[in-house]
């Protein structure tokens, strides 16, 4: 049913949906055309800009700047030591503190990161996997300190460890205990933080590692099946926990292929969850965040990346994304400058408010090409999934190196095509020019580590050491048993145990994965 009249500049009334009267409708199983009947006519996607660097103080300033410029939600990038469970003072952290994201060593840093930001009033996405349970615990602990209603706070943790083994590498523990941590989060949040999206099953990094669009789709959905089956083995109800599953996809330059991929993803996931026992439409629905393709950005003629990002963002919107991050044009050179971050956000705003693509649902639906491409991508992805199922599922396929090898072969073919000029990258292997003035870049000073180490020393001098030691001991005992670990991790965090201390307890119990 039409909910409001929208006219274009010529005065033509734009219908909510186009297609034959008997065509599949958006908001209905299997959701090929979108997860809501009115899609962006009702409300736009969440413009969620990914940011985090240096110290919590510096990242907090960037968050306040982005919020002042119209971003609708926050997305936190963490540095590598935080991602793999090391405090900034650890020898392995040297040279990496604050470089690719913000350094978080304890709840104290988290309090600074969100200073002046009420967690009940925003949604936050956190790109964190191996240490997702600890960072979520910090978010919950901070929300409690702010007096927030935990039933109202919402956001997402990536929490997708399988793609780390297959494509990205920021894992700590072996697959089995890692899956335990993930399902513990599912169980805890379904009761205590029901609006929280407990996993963002990520194809983004699979694509960044060199996969094709069809492989990105197949491997992501296969991983999704593995998480659902692990939760069901734990006795969780798919009609409850599957409502809080979300996905994270990449968007590259081929608009039609990307739109077809997004449409196929919704249809495939609806059928997968139905086969696994989901009967509630909300549990069958694939909701996803999109980020424009970092690997497509070039250091040569970096201004060209503004056009690339625009095309990619447009494909995500026409493909029905629920939230979107647009990359800064200078990210092939450094972390985005404030100017680049603003242009990236304005790109989304112009698409949302000026382009007209939001006026009707699934605007490319019914295109002979897009419909055929949707079917073909689904068929190819399904073949990959059937191969993975025959191997015993995603965990077995990863352990046997299947996904890694398929991605590596695709990456090699892509690079070879560029070097042979069979694939044109503007400004790289065609339409090149002598480089002019150097692009201003955003650099992080190595002194950040010293600042973090000083804060750690102060924290350890001020906290109740006996309380910390007791909570870490209780966590160790729980990890050796079968209890849900989230309450114990939250207690550790609230007593100001550090991220590294918590990770070390679990390392000692679970061991480390040697890929």
- Tens-digit pLDDT profile for residues 394-439: 999 999 999 999 999 999 999 999 999 999 999 999 999 987 777 7
Percentage above 90 pLDDT, the chain:
89
Distances (CA, A) of 328 to 128, 253, 342: 21, 15, 8
Average confidence score pLDDT of the chain? 94
The reported pTM is 0.92
What is the three-class DSSP state of 249? Answer: strand
* Of the candidate ranges 163-172, 239-248, 440-449, the one whose mean pLDDT is the lowest: 440-449
**Residue 130 and residue 178 in contact, taking contact as beta carbons nearer than 8 Å:** yes
Residue 443 predicted with pLDDT over 80: no
Each residue of 25-75: pLDDT tens digit? 899 999 999 999 999 999 999 998 888 888 999 999 999 998 999 888 898
Residues 6+ apart with CB under 8 A from 446: 95, 97
The answer, yes or no, to whether residue 487 has pLDDT greater than 50, is yes
Phi and psi at 124, nearest 5°, equal -130, 130
Q: For residue 207, how far is the Cα from the chain centroid? A: 13
What band does 514 get if pLDDT is binned at 50, 70 and 90?
Answer: confident
DSSP secondary structure letter of residue 76: E
**CA 305/CA 11 separation, integer angstroms:** 35
Burial of 334 (0-12, 13-18, 19+ CB in 10 A): middle
Distance CA 140, CA 198 (A): 13
- Cβ burial, residue 515 (10 Å; 0-12/13-18/19+): exposed
Q: Which residues contact 396 (CB under 8 A, 6 or more apart)?
A: none
**22 or 100: which carries more pLDDT confidence?**
100
How many CB atoms are located within 10 Å of the residue 474 CB?
16
Structure tokens at 304: 């060209």
Question: What is the C-alpha to C-alpha distance for residues 142 and 37, in angstroms, rounded to an integer?
Answer: 36
Residue 232 CA to residue 16 CA, distance in Å, equals 38
Looking at 127-131, 164-168, 225-229, which range is the least confident one?
164-168
CA dihedral 281, 282, 283, 289 (to 10 degrees): 130
Helix (H, G, I), strand (E, B) or coil at 168: helix
Please give the DSSP secondary-structure letter assigned to residue 98. Answer: T
CA distance 259 to 255: 6
pLDDT of residue 3: 60
With CA atoms as reference, report the closest residue to 80 among 110, 103, 60, 106: 103
CA 128 to chain centre: 8
Angle between helices 486-494 and 132-145 in degrees, nearest 10: 60
pLDDT for res 49: 82
Q: Residue 95: left if φ>0, alpha if ψ -120 to 50, beta else—which one? A: left
Could you tell me if 296 and 308 are in contact, meaning their C-beta atoms sit under 8 angstroms apart? yes
Peptide bond into 30 cis (omega under 30): yes
DSSP state of 477: H
Bigger pLDDT: 408 vs 514: 408
pLDDT at residue number 139:
98
∠ CA 8-48-342, nearest 5°, is 80
pLDDT at 1 over 70: no
Question: What kind and span of H or E run contains 346?
Answer: helix 338-354
Comparing 325-339, 425-439, 446-460, the range with the smallest average pLDDT is 425-439
267 phi and psi angles, rounded to 5 deg: -65, -45
SS3 sequence of 250-308: EECCCHHHHHHHHHHHHHHHHHHHHHCCCCCHHHHCCCEEEEECHHHCCCCCCCHHHHH
In angstroms, what CA-CA distances link 242 with 29, 134, 187, 200, 506? 15, 22, 11, 11, 27
Most distant CA atoms of the chain, gap in Å: 72
């Amino acid at each position: 049913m039409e909910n409001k009249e929208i006219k274009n500049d010529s005065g033509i009334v734009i219908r909510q949906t186009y297609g034959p009267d008997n065509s599949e409708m958006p908001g209905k199983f299997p959701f090929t055309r979108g997860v809501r009947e009115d899609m962006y006519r009702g409300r736009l996607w969440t413009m969620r800009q990914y940011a985090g660097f240096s110290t919590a103080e510096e990242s907090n300033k960037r968050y306040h700047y982005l919020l002042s410029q119209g971003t609708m939600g926050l997305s936190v990038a963490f540095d590598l030591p935080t991602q793999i469970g090391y405090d900034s003072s650890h020898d392995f952290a040297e040279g990496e503190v604050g470089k690719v994201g913000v350094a978080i060593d304890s709840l104290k840093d988290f309090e600074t990161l969100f200073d002046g930001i009420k967690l009940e009033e925003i949604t936050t996405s956190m790109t964190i996997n191996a240490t997702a349970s600890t960072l979520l615990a910090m978010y919950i602990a901070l929300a409690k300190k702010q007096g927030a209603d935990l039933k109202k706070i919402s956001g997402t943790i990536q929490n997708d460890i399988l793609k780390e083994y297959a494509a990205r590498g920021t894992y700590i523990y072996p697959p089995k205990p890692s899956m335990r941590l993930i399902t513990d989060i599912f169980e805890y949040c379904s009761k205590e933080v029901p609006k929280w999206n407990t996993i963002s099953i990520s194809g983004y990094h699979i694509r960044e590692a060199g996969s094709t669009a069809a492989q990105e789709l197949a491997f992501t959905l296969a991983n999704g099946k593995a998480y659902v089956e692990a939760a069901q083995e734990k006795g969780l109800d798919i009609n409850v926990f599957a409502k809080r599953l979300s996905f994270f996809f990449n968007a590259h330059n081929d608009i039609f292929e990307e739109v077809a991929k997004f449409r196929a993803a919704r249809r495939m996931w609806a059928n997968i969850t139905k086969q696994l026992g989901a009967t509630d439409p909300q549990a069958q629905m694939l909701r996803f965040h999109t980020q424009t393709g970092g690997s497509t950005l070039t250091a040569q003629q970096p201004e060209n990346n503004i056009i690339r990002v625009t095309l990619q963002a447009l494909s995500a919107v026409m493909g029905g994304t629920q939230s979107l991050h647009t990359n800064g044009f200078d990210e092939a050179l450094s972390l985005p400058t404030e100017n680049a971050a603003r242009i990236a956000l304005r790109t989304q705003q112009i698409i949302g408010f000026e382009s007209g693509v939001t006026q009707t649902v699934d605007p490319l639906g019914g295109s002979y090409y897009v419909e055929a491409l949707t079917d073909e991508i689904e068929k190819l992805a399904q073949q990959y999934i059937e191969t993975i199922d025959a191997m015993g599922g995603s965990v077995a396929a990863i352990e046997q190196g299947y996904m890694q090898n398929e991605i590596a072969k695709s990456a090699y073919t892509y690079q070879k095509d560029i070097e042979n000029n069979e694939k044109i990258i503007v400004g790289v292997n065609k339409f090149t020019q002598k480089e002019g003035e150097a692009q201003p870049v955003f650099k992080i000073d190595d002194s950040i580590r010293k600042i973090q180490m000083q804060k750690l020393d102060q924290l350890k001098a001020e906290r109740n050491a006996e309380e910390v030691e007791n909570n870490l001991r209780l966590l160790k005992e729980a990890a050796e048993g079968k209890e849900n670990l989230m309450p114990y991790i939250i207690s550790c965090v609230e007593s100001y145990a550090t991220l590294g201390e918590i990770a070390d307890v679990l390392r000692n119990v679970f061991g480390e994965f040697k890929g």
